[in-house]
A and B are shown apart, each in its own frame.
Chain A
Amino acid sequence: MKAKTLTARNVAAKTAAALLLLIVILFFCTLTGSHPVSLKNALSGDEGQGHNIDYEIIFGSRLPRVLLAAIVGAALACAGVTLQAILRNPLADPYILGISSGAGLGGALAIMLASVLGSWAGVSVGIFAFAGALGTVWLVWFIGHFATGRSSATSLLLAGVVVNAFFSALIMFLTQIAKSYQLREIWLWLMGSITEKNLAVIGASAIAVLLGLVGLFSIAQRLNVLTLGRAEAQGLGVATARTNLIAFALAAFVTSVAVSLSGLIGFVGLIVPHGVRLIFGPDHRQLLPLSALCGAALLVIADTLARTVIAPAQLPVGIITAIAGGPFFLILLARYNRKVSWTK
Chain B
Amino acid sequence: MSLPVEIENVSFAYGPQTILQNMSFAVETGQFLAVAGPNGAGKSTLLNLICGLLQPQHGRIRIDGSDIHSYSVKALARKVAVVRQEFVPAFDFTVAEVVAMARTPYMSAFGFESQDDREIIARALDMTETSRFASRPIRQLSGGERQRVFIARALAQQSPVLLLDEPTSFLDFKHQVGIYDLLKDTQRQTGKTIIAVTHDINLAIQYCDRALLISDKNYHLGDINEVFVRERIEEVFGVIAFEGAIEKGKFFMPLGKFAKDHKNS
Contact = CB atoms under 8 A, between A and B. Distances in A.
Interface size class of B (residues with CB under 8 A): 35 or more
B1 interface: no
Contacts of A207: none
Interface string A223-240: 011011101101111110
A62 interface: no
B53 A4 contact: no
Nearest to A224: B101
Given A88-B90, A89-B90, A235-B51, A217 B110 contact: yes
A225 B140 CA distance: 19
Contacts, number: 120
A282 B139 CA distance: 13
B102 to A, nearest CB: 7
A183 B53 CA distance: 52
A236 B89 contact: no
A1 B112 contact: no
Contacts of B52: 234
A1 B95 CA distance: 13
A168 B132 CA distance: 52
A236 B88 CA distance: 16
Interface stretch (B69-77, B207-215, B231-239): B69-77
B261 interface: no
B82 interface: yes
Nearest to A285: B112
B173 interface: no
| Interface SS majority for chain A | loop
Interface stretch (A5-13, A68-76, A190-198, A298-306): A5-13
Interface in A297-339: 339
Interface stretch (B5-13, B117-125, B179-187, B193-201): B117-125
Contacts of B91: 90, 227, 277, 282
A218 B92 contact: no
Interface in A55-106: 88-90
Interface string B79-92: 01110100111111
A343 interface: yes
Contacts of A237: 73-78, 104-105
B113 to A, nearest CB: 5
B134 A236 contact: no
Interface string A207-229: 00000000001111110110111
A90 B90 CA distance: 8
Nearest to A283: B97
A236 B157 contact: yes
A243 to B, nearest CB: 10
A225 B135 contact: no
A4 B135 contact: yes
Contacts of B76: 237
Given A5-B118, A234-B73, A237-B77, A281 B90 contact: no
B139 A339 contact: yes
B102 A221 contact: no
Instruction: Tell me which of B102, B105, B111, B112 has the highest count of chain A C-beta atoms within 10 A of its own C-beta.
Output: B112
Contacts of A89: 90
B31 to A, nearest CB: 21
A221 B131 contact: no
Contacts of B96: 3-5
B140 A343 contact: yes
Given A5-B118, A225-B104, A343-B88, A235 B97 contact: no
Contact of A221 (B92, B111, B139): B111
A173 interface: no
Contact of B113 (A2, A5, A222): A5
Contacts of B118: 2-3, 5
A229 B92 contact: no
Contacts of B100: 3, 5
A218 B131 contact: no
B94 interface: yes
10 contacts: A3-B100, A3-B121, A3-B134, A5-B121, A8-B112, A224-B97, A231-B84, A232-B87, A236-B101, A281-B97
Given A3-B121, A11-B112, A88-B90, 6 more contacts: A6-B113, A7-B112, A228-B89, A229-B87, A232-B82, A281-B94
